[in-house]
Amino acid sequence: MTNASVLVRAARKSRGLTQKDLAQRTNVDQGRVSRFEGGREAEFSIVERFLSGTGHRLYSAPTRRDDAATIASAIRGCLRAGDKYSALRELILLSDNLRSEHGLVRRVLGLAEPEPTGDQAWDAAFAALVDLRLSEAGLAPTRHRQVGA
């Protein structure tokens, strides 16, 4: 999946919207929303359009590190494949990513609401890690950090 597709899906779900709802709000076919979220389409204009349809805006941060929503998606994939060691490596990567950035960039990396990993223990660990790294930087933890709550 592309980062853009993860971002749009997280934005849509954070607003409680279905793919059909987003399609109606943006005047596109529901199939296009589905294909985009599946990682098959990544035009910048459609990313902006879908995010706008969820009431979000797209901002850029000067970093090459993956954000929380992207890493949560990777963890979910690892867990579905039964690969807990790779999932743990992804969690450690998130910790390193957040610790390596400062101020607004750290906040941006922890900002996007991730989808649940499918495992409550992993969701809780993920949420605790993001809150810890944001708190270390004097940034208020996010309200939605408990993944899937």
The model's confidence at residue 118, banded by pLDDT at 50, 70 and 90, is confident
Helix ranges (H only) for the chain are 3-14, 19-26, 30-37, 44-53, 68-80, 84-100, 103-111, 120-136
**Residue 147 clears pLDDT 50, i.e. is over it:** no
Please give the C-alpha separations between residue 131 and each of 8, 91, 103, in angstroms, as whole numbers: 22, 13, 14
Confidence of residue 91 (pLDDT cuts 50, 70, 90): very high
* Top mean-pLDDT range of 5-19, 89-103, 127-141: 89-103
Q: Which domains are assigned to the chain? A: 3-53 (1.10.260.40), 68-136 (no CATH)
pLDDT beyond 90 at 148: no
pTM, to two decimals:
0.66
pLDDT in the model for residue 42: 67
